[in-house]
Chains A and B, each alone.
Chain A
């Protein structure tokens, strides 16, 4: 045994220990922050990070995850958090597996002191936003539109010119563009029919056929050869016919598309009309829409905010899926044989997170989140969450759901219930129809969302109970509509609203209904209904005036162009048919000449050797 050898080993071990002890905290923190920021597309910051290498224990005092859409806000933040990483998966396969994580001080949507924007390196940039973000945008846009609808200042003396100056009427431009498209298509096909090789070949066939003079052929062999050539010409003309028919079919297909475009014109006009109504802030007086106009602004705004978290989960989920891709095997580094699936683990897997924290409205919440991983297919577990809490005023919040990416179609579902919050001094609606605050009342909200890939089915129920409106501070009614509304809702102590957002049967549908829709409709019909109809009529007439006759002109133009092309085709068709006839006639003529020559030949033989071959 070498003493100096043992000493060397001990010194090396000591140096390794010291290096890892003093360097790892900062290094690991930097790595985690960087990787998480790339994933989040905004800063992820950790304060008070401690990494105990020997117990593989991680701890931090504060974690802030910036909202990438608003970098002055955190999507969430946590307080003291502690967890232990499993040793063997980390050592053998570089996989972070955490059995239990204790996370305190969890808060959603907190304000940041500094900007959390993060410049993502070019090579790490990701794809476009997905389906759920589209839904969030659509719902937010509907919420905004609903918030803008005004009922109380409907007037029929609209200044149409100034309104139209604000509205971007798009139909005429679109019709012109379509007309240009038709002209371009026409020119293309006109040139195709005019310059097609078929015409040249027809001329060649004609020339060849005309150059055949059966009467001048004296040799029977020559005549048989010419007949064969004519048969070839017939085949050529047949092929020309097929080619001409193919061109016609292609033309009809191409023109068929423009036909479909033409049917869009009515939709464009309708869209312009709706836009004009929206700019004029003229509400649609329909019992289907009244709920949306009254409560849609608030309800859909909140709904879009909840859905944003689902969108984020799906986005993170899809970004992480690529991480565990098949490994490349460099030559002669060998191949790893996997004798069991023991180490076939995801890149990271937080099996159980016990979290506690509080909401913006100071409800202390606690619960658990299970199965957060970089590959659900490897863990076989979806993300499940169950969080809830109650405050001192018996306001209750519960949230549970599942983000399931196990199958081919991503599935998200969650239920949120927020019950018993006070409505005192609150406004139930952002609409000018219901501007009154409440003296008292309690509110309950429940949200139920199910998304399977791109199919969304969701429902939000809002219940305001034991309510009484504060009409007093709003002063005396300013008009008859206000009076009618007050009379209608003054007697009710309960308003329930349901919003259904789904795309189960096609495009996204947003429907909002409440138990007071009919009361409002009745009040509106008795008051602003006539003015509204007059104003709408004016807008409709003005939009119509701007597009008047254009659709018909366009249809006529298209028809004319189509007829011209058809004429060209028919002309070509006639030419081909004529050539077929010409070839057939020539063939016949040649057959006759052949017979003639044969008979002459037989006569000659008979004269010479006296044998009759007849």
Chain B
């Protein structure tokens, strides 16, 4: 319960923060890629560095990673099948072989069905998700945020000790 509340608070805070919709969408996308693909895959190190270096919303990246990790747990068999399909594509065989024979490409573990399946899936998902998230953030801020603040549940939540502590910590961290 505490964990769910924490995520909701994080989500609401991020949506209401000064971060631009693009920064929030960037966090969602990068977090999603890490979440959907196997965590120990080398490309995730690069994604992590991108999160640290670029001004994407950090909280949103963590939230997105957590949510998509759960989804990945269920979707791994599908990623495996999709990966198999990709790796067995007749027209791609030469490309795969060339990539496999190149140590840098081989290092990415692309030849694993789950890695390639989940990575390509997350990239495909990122294409519509990025503008959709941006659009969602804008819409939320313009039309929903004020209403949400008036919800009894949000009012009640704001009176909890947890929210007070959370606000204090957030202020201290800037």
Contacts and interface: CB of A to CB of B under 8 A. Distances in A.
Nearest to B79: A334
A337 B101 CA distance: 12
Contacts of A342: 100-101
A5 B52 contact: yes
Nearest to B104: A88
A6 B52 contact: yes
Interface string B34-73: 0000100000000001011111000000000000000000
A335 B113 contact: yes
A91 B112 CA distance: 16
A2 B52 contact: yes
A339 B101 contact: yes
Contacts of A333: 38, 112, 114
A339 B53 contact: no
B9 interface: no
B113 A334 contact: yes
Contacts of B112: 333-337
A9 interface: yes
B111 A339 contact: yes
A343 interface: yes
A57 interface: no
Interface in A318-339: 332-339
B84 interface: yes
Given A8-B52, A338-B111, A332 B100 contact: no
B53 A5 contact: yes
A332 B107 contact: no
Contact of A339 (B38, B52, B55, B97): B97
A609 interface: no
Of A1, A88, A339, chain B has the most CB atoms within 10 Å of the CB of: A339
Nearest to A6: B53
Band of interface residues on B: 20 to 34
A70 to B, nearest CB: 45
A2 B55 contact: yes
A340 B97 contact: yes
A23 interface: no
B87 A337 contact: yes
Contacts of A340: 97, 100-101
A333 B37 CA distance: 11
B10 interface: no
Of B38, B79, B96, B111, chain A has the most CB atoms within 10 Å of the CB of: B111
Contact of B114 (A5, A88, A332): A332
A342 B102 CA distance: 10
Contacts of A332: 76-77, 80, 114
Given A88-B103, A339-B111, A340-B100, A334 B52 contact: no
A31 to B, nearest CB: 21
Interface residues of A, number: 20
A91 B106 CA distance: 10
Nearest to B115: A334
B103 to A, nearest CB: 4
A2 B80 contact: no
A483 B139 CA distance: 121
B55 A91 contact: no
A92 interface: yes
Contact of B54 (A1, A92, A334): A1
Nearest to A89: B103
B31 interface: no
Contacts of B96: 337, 339
Contacts of A92: 103, 106-107
B27 interface: no
A1 B80 contact: no
A333 B83 CA distance: 12
B53 A9 contact: yes
A2 B93 CA distance: 40
A194 B99 CA distance: 79
Contacts of B107: 91-92
Contacts of B83: 334
Contacts of A343: 106
Nearest to B112: A334
A337 B114 contact: no
Contacts of B117: 334
B99 to A, nearest CB: 8
Of A9, A332, A333, A343, chain B has the most CB atoms within 10 Å of the CB of: A332
B114 A334 contact: yes
Contacts of B100: 337-340, 342
B101 A9 contact: no
B53 A337 contact: no
B169 to A, nearest CB: 18
A12 to B, nearest CB: 9
Given A336-B113, A339-B93, 6 more contacts: A2-B52, A5-B53, A5-B54, A92-B106, A336-B111, A339-B101
Top 4 A-B pairs ranked by shortest CB distance? Answer: A334-B114, A5-B52, A339-B100, A334-B113
Interface of B: 38, 49, 51-55, 76-77, 79-80, 83-84, 87, 93, 96-97, 99-101, 103, 106-107, 109, 111-115, 117
28 contacts: A1-B54, A1-B55, A2-B54, A5-B51, A88-B103, A91-B107, A92-B103, A92-B107, A332-B76, A332-B77, A334-B38, A334-B80, A334-B112, A334-B113, A334-B114, A335-B113, A336-B112, A336-B113, A337-B96, A337-B100, A339-B96, A339-B100, A340-B97, A340-B100, A340-B101, A342-B100, A342-B101, A343-B106
